Amino acid sequence: MDEPAVECYAGVRHPERPRAFTWHGERLRVEQVEREWRTPEGLVFRIRTPDGRRFTLSYREADTAWQIEALGRARPQPK
């Protein structure tokens, strides 16, 4: 299996903000970072794509590797 590919903005630190990633051969743009936090292993981002899919992108600093977990679809926003 290929290593997950995550494209990030890197300002003060890397990775600062994920911008896009590849999921099962499909490049998905990050529409919104819903939440961001730090664990002892590294940074974690809960993100939403333009089509409403949600993922957790985890960056392990020790081996500079990403892990991607699908969370399902975001709930529709009330109008």
Query: Using one digit for the tens of pLDDT, what is the confidence trace for 12-61?
Result: 767 788 999 999 999 999 999 999 999 999 999 999 999 999 999 999 99
The total of structural domains in the chain comes to: 1
Report the candidate in 46, 37, 35 with the shortest Cα–Cα distance to residue 68.
46
- Whether omega before 15 lies within 30 degrees of 0, making that bond cis, reads yes
In a domain, 78, yes or no: no
Is 47 a member of any domain?
yes
Residue 12 counted as domain residue: yes
Q: Provide the residue range defining the domain that includes 45.
A: 6-73
Q: Considering the domain boundaries, does residue 1 fall inside one?
A: no
Over the stretch 57-76, which tens digit does the pLDDT of each residue have? Answer: 999 999 989 999 999 876 66
Peptide bond before 40: cis, by omega within 30 degrees of 0?
Answer: no
Q: Which pair of structure tokens corresponds to residue 28?
A: 């998905």
Answer whether residue 46 is part of any domain.
Answer: yes
Residue 79 lies in a domain: no
